[in-house]
Chains A and B, each alone.
Chain A
Amino acid sequence: MARRARGAGALGNLIQGLLDLFHYSDKPLEVIDPLKHLTNKNIIGKERDLSYGTRLTKMGEEPEVVLEEYPAQSYYGNENYNPEIGLGDYIHHTKQPAEGFYDINDDIDRFFPIALEEVKDLAAKYKTELNPAEINQLATNRAMRYAKEFKYLGLSNRIYRPNVYTQFQKVIPMDVSRQDGSVGDLIEYLKKVAGE
């Protein structure tokens, strides 16, 4: 069901400037919530690393200054995205306006260089030694946050991963299906959505 946007439907969306986006999970979701992703204690490792703050002041120094720049975001694939095994059987479908996504390769608003200078200035202000990779990571996260503050729906990475998008806000999926096409407990999901 979720993949029905291929072909004629996809062409129609293109004309309207809409993207078909798909979010994968191991259970049906009524709402795709970016915050749930990062607060899920089962998620460890790299995803959580992205969201960790970086302390600029020394331990015990008040007031404490911690840079927490990474904006929570949910990941989506378009109709050409080939999901990795293990992402989850449930496919959540939504349509979003293509113009709402900030292409970080173009960076037309120059968020990254602005963020980079600000991170360097903050490190100098608090006399914190950050290595180049830390500076780069903080600047990337800060630039993402600027895209959110400028009211973009999310981010795209047209050059490296043209089939991947993120969204900053909660999304209520238009429909949910399973990768194998079965409906399974989707009926229960639909009842919930309908308030039955």
Chain B
Amino acid sequence: MTEYEMDVDDIGLGFMSGYDKYDVEVIKEYESDTMQKFYRVKVKDYTDAADKLQ
């Protein structure tokens, strides 16, 4: 398992949610300079190079 943080927007937040191999926790919600919502998320990523999500 790898753990990392990344910034995603409203839409980017969603793709990982459909897959068991990601645990996503929103740690900060903020607005960009153009008032678009962004999220700093902590991702627990249970995939690896040899692992398929399918």
**Which A residues have a C-beta under 8 Å from some C-beta of B?**
43-47, 49-50, 73, 75, 84-87, 103-107, 110-113, 116-117, 120, 124, 131-133, 136-137, 139-140, 143-144, 155, 157-161, 164, 166
Q: B1-39 CB contact bits vs A (8 Å, 1 = yes)?
A: 010111111111111111100000000000111111110
| Known contacts A120-B49, A133-B4, A133-B6; A104 and B11 CB within 8 A of each other | yes
Q: How many of B's residues come within 8 Å of A, CB to CB?
A: 32
Which one of B13, B35, B38, B43 contacts A160 once the chains associate, using CB atoms below 8 Å?
A: B13
Inter-chain contact B14/A159, CB cutoff 8 Å: yes
In the assembled complex, 16 residue pairs joining A and B whose CB atoms fall closer than 8 Å, in A order, are: A46-B33, A46-B36, A50-B12, A84-B31, A85-B35, A86-B31, A116-B53, A124-B49, A133-B6, A137-B12, A139-B15, A155-B11, A157-B10, A160-B10, A164-B10, A164-B37
Residues of A within 8 A of B5 (CB): 133
Inter-chain contact B11/A84, CB cutoff 8 Å: no
In Å, the complex CA distance between A87 and B32 comes to 11
Inter-chain contact B11/A144, CB cutoff 8 Å: yes
In Å, the complex CA distance between A7 and B5 comes to 41
Residues of B within 8 A of A86 (CB): 31, 35
Residues of B within 8 A of A105 (CB): 14, 17-18
In Å, the complex CA distance between A171 and B39 comes to 27
A107 CB → nearest B CB, Å: 5
A4 CB → nearest B CB, Å: 24
